[in-house]
Copies of this chain bind each other. A is one copy, B any other.
Amino acid sequence: MLGAVLYGVGGPGQHHTWLSPEIPGDASVDIRWYIARAQQAEAAKFDHLFIVDSQFITPDSPNHYLNRLEPLTLLSAVAVHTTHIGLVGTLTTSYNDPFNLARRLASLDLISGGRAGWNVVATGDGGTAGNYGRAEHYDYAARYGRALESVRVVQGLWDSYEDDAFPRDKERGVFFDRTKQHPLNHVGEHFRVVGPLNIERSPQGQPVIFQAGDSTEGRDLGATVGDAIFTHAQTIEQAVAFRDDIRARAAALGRDPDLVLVVPGFTPIVADTDEQARATERELVGGKSFERALKELGRPFGWHDFSVYDLDAPFPDLGEAGDRSFRTQAEAIKRLARTRNLTLRQVVEHSIDAHRSPFVGSARTVADEIQRWFEAGAFDGINVGVGVPSEFARFTDEVLPILRERGLARTEYDSTTLRGNLGLPVPENVHTAARKVPVAATATK
């Protein structure tokens, strides 16, 4: 399983990519840029594109965050210039009505012929609340409660029509079978939605659910509703432990763990030799990276400004900062600083190290490492960060052929739907399934 995470002019840890002559200065708002990258990934038989998102910015946000296209508007345009690659968009359950989420994702799913995916997020940036009329961001319990309920409502709405609801028989003049339209009548803790949705299912039944939270609540949400889990991993041990944990949670919930794919994100650095790749890496993490890492360290703490502290004093006591933002990340940083007794400078240096790619070297070295991680059970696939096109091409044109030779990457698409390519079954419409129960009961009498 191969995903391509598309950035324009540079996400976190990629601030300098916009300086590349290969990247237009307005790449993040240029649909031609995204279409070209999508076609590049599709030519390399990637399973999907992945578009991250946020709805809160400050003047200090990374370049790509300052000014970018909304994910689903973007992916819809990409859909009609591609034919096989999956299209996964990030949409938050904290600041979208489930009815609108269901409609927009189902529309993308039909426009793309069954290639849509939804990366379900609950929104980490606490400041987002201010853009949606709230004085404070939802607390953790409310965020994840809403997320789970929202996914269930959206999935319920996606089944509003059974697959044979529209006979469209012009000879008999029968367009619609009204018995195959179903309202939802959902009444829950966070949402009340009557339904039905005004759109039918796509060839893959329902969009694929991606999930990316790392907290206990996030892992449970992923294990409960996720078809694929987007994550980050720094070491093979950490990756294996995370995947084992997700699989165990899914199994405990009665799900087949093989249908919950764990997909960490990496940006491989490929050069002619291992030494050249390491030199490229040093360039990337050098320069102004400390200053930027200091700014980005603030994000999990609600964009806390760390520049006011003495870098060589112990890591400051931040109290409850981060409780309404990226809590798990914030707590991990606090814990690290406390247990190792680190200064602020050491914490920043640690965060720079944490962004380092474990896949750095010649094409063969990178292919070997990916194989080693995969065989150790570290992942079911990877999401590759796409910045400079020629760097991405080194991965697609040099690393992938080696993985293909070893039977670890596809040579052709299996299907025209995202579920088909990921080997995930088409979920049966719940109303069609319910209709079958009495028949089965009769048959066994």
Contacts and interface: CB of A to CB of B under 8 A. Distances in A.
Interface string A160-173: 01000010101001
Contact of A176 (B66, B70, B108): B66
A63 B175 contact: yes
Nearest to A61: B198
Contacts of A9: 175
A214 interface: no
B72 A73 contact: yes
Interface stretch (A126-134, A350-358, A377-385): A126-134
Given A97-B95, A103-B55, A194 B74 contact: no
Contacts of A170: 18-19, 21, 25
A31 B100 contact: no
A138 to B, nearest CB: 15
* Category for how many chain A residues contact B: 35 or more
A248 interface: no
Contacts of A194: 127, 130-131
A130 B77 CA distance: 31
Contacts of A403: none
Given A67-B166, A67-B199, A77-B111, 19 more contacts: A25-B166, A25-B168, A26-B166, A29-B200, A30-B110, A31-B111, A54-B198, A61-B198, A66-B181, A67-B161, A70-B104, A72-B104, A73-B76, A74-B76, A80-B81, A99-B132, A130-B193, A131-B193, A133-B193
What 10 A-B pairs are tightest by C-beta distance, nearest first? A25-B168, A130-B194, A59-B178, A73-B107, A76-B76, A70-B107, A99-B131, A77-B80, A133-B192, A31-B111
